[in-house]
Amino acid sequence: MNIDEAKALERACLLNLYTPIRMPMVIARGEGARLWDTEGREYLDFVSGGRAVTGLGHCHPKVVEAIRQQAGKLIHVSNDFFSEPQLLLAQRLSELFGGRCFFCNSGAEAVEAAIKLARKHAYKAVGPDKHHVITVLRSFHGRTMGALAATGQPKYQQAFQPLPAGFVHVPFNDVAALEAAVDARTCAVMLEPILGESGVYPATAEYLAAARRLCDTHRAVLIFDEVQTGLGRTGKMFAYQHYDVEPDVMALAKGLGGGVPIGAMLAREPVASSFEPGDHASTFGGSPLPAAVAVAVLDAIRDENLLARAAAIGERLAEGLKVIQEKTPLVTEVRARGLMIAVDLARPVAARAKAECLARGLLLITVGDQMLRLLPPMVLSKEQADRGLAILAEVLEALGRD
């Protein structure tokens, strides 16, 4: 299928939701940090399949083998039954986090489950008036109605009013604003340790410490949305491990399934026990196939020392980008934590930079008109990192001279 055929089928058969952001190629196959389109062109993937999903790269051998073996035994049973892959995955995640698990299919679903759990916990402990959820401006928590209400970006919300009530948005990293917002009505504070979709902005240690203190004082639940930051992307298994702060509840997805859809909400006691049978459920949540794949993902992260690799390759990319920044005034700032990287530009040429990189075989994404975002997989080699940096240097220095 060529790109013209793909566009024709999209117009005829798909809702018009992705047209502005689709890259002009039809992807046929992938391996590690590389993709190939149906015309045989090769690309270096600095977006992990798009939006930080394939943290192990494409078609990692452990993922492929887990799919092959599990698909030959049992693909799906609902939560009316026990299945070994689900229980093994729950055990592994519980060992890593120290709590218990609920499985679903996406990050938005994990966030929805976290919101419901926090409200149920507050309802049991205090009553229905304790239902406010504090989140931050520029945050992104998903596009289902509850997650959308939590998201601190009005541009995503305007056409879908009225959204669920009880969500309060405050400026990120502003301790005084957070202190003013959290009160007796607050059931939860929900934060991304690093704002991802809005441009890789890490929380300060003081801010997360204040969130923990305020939640403890007001009997509220501290939720960390680690849908994008979790599973090794920042150089640690979870981004909160860069800080001396631990949440009560955490949402995971994206990298957990190595490309297979799965999400998880993890909760520590006493919050975890607030959910009772019938409070929440998911037909496909923790189904044998995605659960077996997620176990393989965790195995690969451990066995291949990918946390250290993500930290080292992320540092190599960040340092290389800062060298580019020194050479061209077009680059005004580089922000990085592991393999979450943003490059701010002095002029609105992000789309041009993306297109020029694409023409040279490098895939990246933009945030607005003046920011590039890089989310490469943890299996990226030094040679591939350097190749990507060389392409970025060529493109950004050329645009800087225009």
- Give the residue from 277, 303, 329 where a domain finishes: 303
pLDDT value of position 243: 97
Q: What is the pTM of this model?
A: 0.97
- Number of domains the chain is built from: 2
pLDDT value of position 156: 94
């799919």: which residue's tokens?
67
* Tens digit of each residue's pLDDT (9 = 90 or more) over 263-278: 999 999 999 999 999 9
* Tens digit of each residue's pLDDT (9 = 90 or more) over 282-332: 999 999 999 999 999 999 999 999 999 999 999 999 999 999 999 999 999
Same domain, 41 and 78: no
**Cα separation, 114 vs 147, whole angstroms:** 10
Strand, coil or helix: 30: strand
**Cα separation, 185 vs 170, whole angstroms:** 15
Residue 68 lies in a domain: no
**Cα separation, 359 vs 367, whole angstroms:** 19
∠ CA 148-151-153, nearest 5°, is: 110
Burial class (CB in 10 A: 0-12, 13-18, 19+), 290: buried
Same domain, 125 and 212: yes
Among 233, 267, 237, 262, residue whose Cα is nearest residue 250: 267
**Beta carbons within 8 Å of 362's beta carbon, 6+ residues apart:** 43, 44, 46, 388, 391, 392
Residue 311: give its domain's CATH number. Answer: 3.90.1150.10
**Cα separation, 202 vs 199, whole angstroms:** 9
* Tens digit of each residue's pLDDT (9 = 90 or more) over 186-220: 999 999 999 999 999 999 999 999 999 999 999 99
Same domain, 211 and 287: yes
* Tens digit of each residue's pLDDT (9 = 90 or more) over 332-346: 999 999 999 999 999
Residue 69 lies in a domain: no
Alpha carbons within 13 angstroms on the beta-carbon side of residue 122 total: 26
Neighbours of 273 (CB within 10 A): 12
Report whether pLDDT(19) > 90. Answer: no
Q: Which residues pair with 263 in a beta bridge?
A: 104
- Determine which one of 236, 254, 275, 354 is catalytic: 254
Per DSSP, 75 falls in state -
**Cα separation, 68 vs 293, whole angstroms:** 10
- Give the residue from 303, 322, 350 where a domain finishes: 303
Domain holding 389, by residue range, is 3-60+305-401
- Give the residue from 303, 334, 349 where a domain finishes: 303
Q: What are the counts of helices (DSSP H) followed by strands (DSSP E) for the chain?
A: 11, 17
Residue 89 lies in a domain: yes
Per DSSP, 164 falls in state P
User: Going by DSSP bridges, is the β-strand pair 221-225/249-252 parallel, antiparallel, or unpaired?
Assistant: parallel
How sure is the predictor about 33, in pLDDT bands with cuts at 50, 70 and 90? Answer: very high
Strand, coil or helix: 340: strand
Residue 67 lies in a domain: no
Same domain, 172 and 135: yes
Strand, coil or helix: 37: strand
**Cα separation, 221 vs 28, whole angstroms:** 44
């645009």: which residue's tokens?
399
- Determine which one of 140, 167, 238, 275 is catalytic: 140
Q: Classify each residue of 36-53 as buried b or exposed e, where b means 16 or more C-beta atoms within 10 Å of its C-beta.
A: bbeeeeebbbbbbbebbb
Report whether pLDDT(402) > 90. Answer: no
Residue 380 lies in a domain: yes
Q: Which residues pair with 187 in a beta bridge?
A: none
Please indicate whether residue 140 is annotated as part of the active site: yes
**Cα separation, 97 vs 272, whole angstroms:** 13
- Determine which one of 45, 46, 97, 225 is catalytic: 225
**Cα separation, 397 vs 331, whole angstroms:** 9
Residue 144: give its domain's CATH number. Answer: 3.40.640.10
Same domain, 253 and 136: yes
Q: Where are the alpha helices (DSSP H) in 14-83?
A: 61-71
* Tens digit of each residue's pLDDT (9 = 90 or more) over 55-112: 999 999 999 999 999 999 999 999 999 999 999 999 999 999 999 999 999 999 999 9
Mean per-residue pLDDT, 356-374: 97
**Cα separation, 373 vs 116, whole angstroms:** 32
Same domain, 45 and 170: no
Same domain, 313 and 299: no
Amino acid at 218: H
Same domain, 271 and 344: no
Same domain, 256 and 372: no
* Tens digit of each residue's pLDDT (9 = 90 or more) over 206-261: 999 999 999 999 999 999 999 999 999 999 999 999 999 999 999 999 999 999 99
Among 225, 179, 173, residue whose Cα is nearest residue 202: 173
Report whether pLDDT(399) > 90. Answer: yes
Residue 235 lies in a domain: yes
Strand, coil or helix: 132: strand
Please indicate whether residue 225 is annotated as part of the active site: yes
- For the record, the structure tokens of 379 come out as 């299996």
Same domain, 28 and 144: no
Residue 221 lies in a domain: yes
* Tens digit of each residue's pLDDT (9 = 90 or more) over 107-153: 999 999 999 999 999 999 999 999 999 999 999 999 999 999 999 99
pLDDT value of position 20: 86
Same domain, 218 and 315: no
Same domain, 155 and 284: yes
Report whether pLDDT(351) > 90. Answer: yes
Please indicate whether residue 167 is annotated as part of the active site: no
SS (H, E, C) 289-334: HHHHHHHHHHHHHHHCCHHHHHHHHHHHHHHHHHHHHHHCCCEEEE
Amino acid at 33: A
Residue 167 lies in a domain: yes
